[in-house]
């Protein structure tokens, strides 16, 4: 559920996300940013024009408490923009949330 709150804050994050949906958008955004030394991003997507347009549609907002928030689908609809379903499908394919259960250390079998 990307509408849930984060289980923990990222210490030292420049743009700390408000919810998991925001984290998903910001994480992919950072992967697509070009490296200053090489000019190439860590990730390159081969997507259609509609998905590419939807990736650039939502606005970056900030809350009064200093968190970064991505414009909600409801706010986008109020602006007359359709839901970015294709873009979020791409983001969900790349998103790796924190595991719900940490792996337990088990002893060796003798």
pLDDT of residue 36: 85
Q: What integer pLDDT is reported at residue 15 of this predicted model?
A: 83
Give the residue numbers spanning the domain of 31.
Answer: 20-35+42-94
> Domain for residue 14, yes or no?
no
Length of the chain: 110
Tens of pLDDT along the chain (110 residues)?
666 677 666 656 778 888 889 989 998 888 888 888 888 878 888 999 999 999 999 999 999 988 999 999 999 999 999 999 999 999 999 887 766 677 777 766 65
Q: What is the pTM of this model?
A: 0.75
- Number of separate domains in the chain: 1
Q: What's 70's DSSP letter?
A: E
The answer to whether residue 10 is domain-embedded is no
The 8-class DSSP code of residue 46 comes to -
Instruction: Please provide the distance, in angstroms rounded to a whole number, between the alpha carbons at the two ends of the chain.
Output: 40
Q: Are 49 and 90 in contact (CB under 8 A)?
A: no
**48 domain residue, yes or no:** yes
């Amino acid at each position: 559920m990307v509408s849930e709150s984060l289980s923990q804050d990222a210490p030292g994050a420049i743009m700390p996300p408000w919810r998991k949906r925001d984290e998903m958008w910001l994480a992919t955004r950072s992967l697509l940013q070009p490296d200053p030394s090489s000019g190439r991003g860590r990730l390159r997507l081969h997507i259609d024009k509609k998905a590419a347009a939807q990736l650039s549609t939502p606005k970056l907002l900030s809350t009064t408490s200093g968190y970064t928030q991505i414009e909600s689908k409801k706010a986008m609809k109020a602006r007359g923009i359709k839901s970015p379903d294709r873009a979020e499908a791409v983001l969900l394919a790349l998103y790796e949330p924190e595991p719900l259960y940490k792996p337990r250390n088990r002893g060796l079998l003798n």
